[in-house]
Structure 1
Amino acid sequence: MSLRVIKPGLLTTIQDLGRRGFQKHGVIVSGAMDTYSLRIANLLVGNQEGEAALEVTLMGPTFEVEEDCVIAITGGDLSPTIDDRTLPMWRPVYVKKGAILRFGRCKSGCRAYLSVAGGYAISEVLGSKSTYLRGQMGGYEGRALQVDDVVPFNGHSTILKHEWTESFIAAKWFVHAKEFLPSRIPVIRFLAGSQYEYFTNSSKLQFVDSLFKVSSQSDRMGYRISGPALELQHKRDILSEAVSNGSIQVPPDGNPIVLLADRQTTGGYPKIAQVITTDLSLIGQLKPGESIQFSQVTLKEAEQLYIQKEQKVKQLKVALSLALQ
């Protein structure tokens, strides 16, 4: 049981929630750029929420479905179709063997997540199926998908007994995407970074009062964002220290870098901010050229926002467990 790659798309990789516990050895975490979309894609097909899915970036791939299966697509809208019929997102879909699954024009967001019931039959490396491209580790042979790759999945025996004539059948119910993805310029909330006090007062104000744009020099390692140059009060030598997903470093040119899934384990640039966990998925859906705005919150507010978001996921899990019975 598998998906065969007809066209690979711009960047299609296998990702889960990351390779954790090895940063002290210099091994990066990787994982999905939009973890909420990945988790929901898995829940929709009855998987554990941390199971691996295909992360599809901007220009999507084309697959031949080589066995009946149940899939779900969440995240950015990359115009998915099956046999040239629009494929509804954010819901489970029964797909028939031989169907052609295509991703087309990017209508919104940047990354879509394709899950399959039973999960992809990919070996774990250090406890994760995530692909780390620079290290050629994990995923499908440590790289992005290519033409004629065959991506195996474990399948779901119960659906093989179901007979239908259409190339796919989508559930009538769905998850409301706007609960997890914004439809306008996102405001990214942050906590003060380790070196926040090193920056000038005018730079601190500009950071929250200005619009920044995502640079074309952005990837899974980090997003470079352009706007007013941020300045330190005095030049300082800073020892390299641990960085995390969402750390915002400011190099000498004054243009911030938001570190993301494939970030390095340590960094030596001053950090003005730390994006709160709740908003990391929003950054993962931004395209080069799109705008971004920042808003400072307290640690207590960040914790409350995290609890509220996780409660939504918990409620969704309960609703899905009833719907999938």
Structure 2
Amino acid sequence: MEEMDSCTILRLPGIGKPTGPCKAADMTLKPLGDAAWLVEFPDLTGEAALARVTGLAVALRENKIGGVTDIVPSFASVAVHFDTVDGLAVREWIRTTEFTDKLSTGEEKLIPVRYGGEDGRDLAGVAAALGLSSDEVVSLHSGADYTVAAVGFSPGFPYLSGLPGRLRLPRLATPRQSVPAGSVAIAAGQAGIYPSISPGGWHLLGRTDVTLFDVHSPRPSFFLPGDRVRFCPVDRITPVKESTPTTGQRRMGTVEVIHPGGLTTVQNPGRPGHESSGVSPGGAVDRESLRMANLLVGNDESAACLECCVSGPILKFHEATAVALVSGNGRPRRVAAGETVDFSKPAGGVRSYLAIAGGICVPEILGSPATDVRAGFGGMMGRPLRAGDLLEIGTPGRIPRCGDWHVGRAADRKVIELGFLTGVQEDWFSAEARQRFRSEIYRLTPRSDRMGARLSGAGLELCEPREMISQPVACGSVQVPPDGQPIVLLAERQTIGGYPQIGHVISVDLPKLARAWPGTEVRFREVTWEEARQARELAEQDFKWLRTGIDLLA
């Protein structure tokens, strides 16, 4: 086939017709943790389910109530994430929203793919597993017509329906830590393309050079639900080029990075509202410590701070200011102009938060200064700090009096207890696995990162082998890949996932996990939805008292 240099875009007419108002009786609602609801339509499959999901998502967006942070559709389900609003009110709003089935008008996009070799490391293995030749796999994959059912997992990742049945394979038993950007992959009856370097458990057939996500574009995601996709084999693609960071001039008021520490990034509470484009909410893994650090130096609780992993940075301050380093506990201190301060000693937990009076000033991307490490945007040009970086600081507010006092929580215990709600696929697991999840002790592994806490311990097996259609996930979702070892999703999680969820860690317990060092023992304890709601309210009440006490010291 003739080689292509770009993809072709054609406008297609809309498909699907309204079927009249849909009823709440047609749907089921399940808690996706204590800050989201998952809506499913169990009696529908394929395009009928997708039309129902699309119709509900459109209606909810058009009539969104306060406190709802995101509405995330997938193949056959919709997640509704909320923050400060009462979850029962959100559930009632979902149930009483009228909508009609709808399938989006889409574009046809032709994607060039170089199959096999370095770009498709799994092609030969896929062919062998399916009893086909590599050429037959390529022919089947490139000869099919696909529809974008959802955009998720990572920014711009398209979940494609339409994979030929002969190419159906389960996901990898253990997800890879790193999949190259542009990788074209298949798993569990779905096809997809990885827009950026990320973990992944799909089989890699090839790679494309099409840019799938551009944060500076008016429409950041190249794909939208409803788009039609075809793949075209080519012999050559353009190598992916890494962006070169700019340097800039030092000005008064900057903070100079002498040594960056282990993994130091600019973070705030994150960027909710973009999950339907695959953009993770991200932000601080331990939001409790970030909020506390900001309060200690007179900042707004959502101001940008430095998240330090293992060891913090060494910084030179060109103006006098106040700082606070917090990992569950901390205190403010004054810093003189010209002073160099070493924050490299661990503050207690594996993650700590360094707030500087006035907050760190970096450009906001999609409404937030937070660094998305996997997607490569936000913060300091989408990456961790480097020696020589210069941080601009905002105008300080009323800085609390520094002295011989500190604030914080009681030290985390040797064995961390994590409250959890029943997972949306808990009944997929054997009775023995469900019991082990509630009784056994797991250990946090060094492979944990901002995306998820990987645990090791007693394996959690399904009642029988089965594959699931990818669906929305939330912070705290406990996914179990085929190797049986649970993963608790954290701040920089994917937006949609394809591994069954046995439980959902409640919001107030996630900071304990965020601070835990590798090797820490973890135990799960089941709680009710009402207990989780009450725990959130008590945690917010504690912050109200903290704000009041700190205000008295300002």
Aligned-pair distance for 1:47?
A: 1.1
Q: TM-score, normalised by structure 2?
A: 0.53
Mapped to 1, the partners of 2:307 and 2:343 lie a distance apart of 12
Q: Are the counterparts in 2 of residues 250 and 256 from structure 1 also a CA contact under 8 Å?
A: yes
2:301 match: secondary structure: coil
Which of 308, 321, 335 is matched with 1:56 structurally?
308
Mapped to 2, the partners of 1:230 and 1:115 lie a distance apart of 40
1:41 equivalent to 2:298? Answer: no
**What is the CA deviation profile of residues 207-247 of structure 1, one whole-angstrom value per residue up to 9, with x for unaligned ones?**
12111111121111111100000011112221100011111
Q: Which residue of 2 aligns with 1:172?
A: 404
Give the alignment's Cα RMSD to 1 decimal.
Answer: 1.6
Q: Are the counterparts in 1 of residues 416 and 520 from structure 2 also a CA contact under 8 Å?
A: no
Q: TM-score, normalised by structure 1?
A: 0.89
Q: Are the counterparts in 2 of residues 116 and 155 from structure 1 also a CA contact under 8 Å?
A: no
Within a 5 Å distance, the mapping from 1:137-286 to structure 2 comes to 137-156=377-396, 170-178=402-410, 181-286=411-516
Q: Which residue type is aligned with residue 282 of structure 1?
A: K
Q: Are the counterparts in 2 of residues 58 and 106 from structure 1 also a CA contact under 8 Å?
A: yes
Mapped to 2, the partners of 1:37 and 1:250 lie a distance apart of 28
In structure 1, the gaps of 5 or more residues are 77-88, 160-168
Q: Which residue type is aligned with residue 481 of structure 2?
A: P
Mapped to 1, the partners of 2:471 and 2:311 lie a distance apart of 36
1:130 match: secondary structure: coil
1:74 equivalent to 2:326? Answer: yes
Q: Which residue of 1 aligns with 2:519?
A: 289
Name the CA shift for 1:240/1:157 in 2 (closer, same or farther; >3 Å).
closer
Q: Which residue type is aligned with residue 69 of structure 1?
A: T
1:5 match: secondary structure: strand
1:121 equivalent to 2:373? Answer: no
1:3 match: secondary structure: strand
Q: Which residue of 1 aligns with 2:373?
A: 133
Q: Which residue type is aligned with residue 404 of structure 2?
A: K
Name the CA shift for 1:157/1:29 in 2 (closer, same or farther; >3 Å).
closer
Pairs aligned (count): 301
**What is the CA deviation profile of residues 155-209 of structure 1, one whole-angstrom value per residue up to 9, with x for unaligned ones?**
43878xxxxxxxxx9422321332xx51432101100110011111111111121
Which of 94, 98, 102 is matched with 2:342 structurally?
102
Which of 276, 279, 287 is matched with 1:24 structurally?
276
Q: Are the counterparts in 1 of residues 358 and 397 from structure 2 also a CA contact under 8 Å?
A: no
Determine which structure has more spread, i.e. the larger CA radius of gyration.
Answer: 2
Mapped to 1, the partners of 2:548 and 2:343 lie a distance apart of 30
Q: Which residue type is aligned with residue 175 of structure 1?
A: V
Mapped to 2, the partners of 1:120 and 1:133 lie a distance apart of 17
Mapped to 2, the partners of 1:30 and 1:157 lie a distance apart of 26
In structure 2, the gaps of 5 or more residues are 1-252
Q: Which residue type is aligned with residue 119 of structure 1?
A: G
Mapped to 1, the partners of 2:309 and 2:390 lie a distance apart of 19
Mapped to 2, the partners of 1:157 and 1:235 lie a distance apart of 57
Aligned-pair distance for 1:255?
A: 0.2
Question: Which range moved further: 98-107 or 313-322?
Answer: 98-107
**What is the CA deviation profile of residues 100-120 of structure 1, one whole-angstrom value per residue up to 9, with x for unaligned ones?**
211234363111101111111
1:129 match: secondary structure: coil
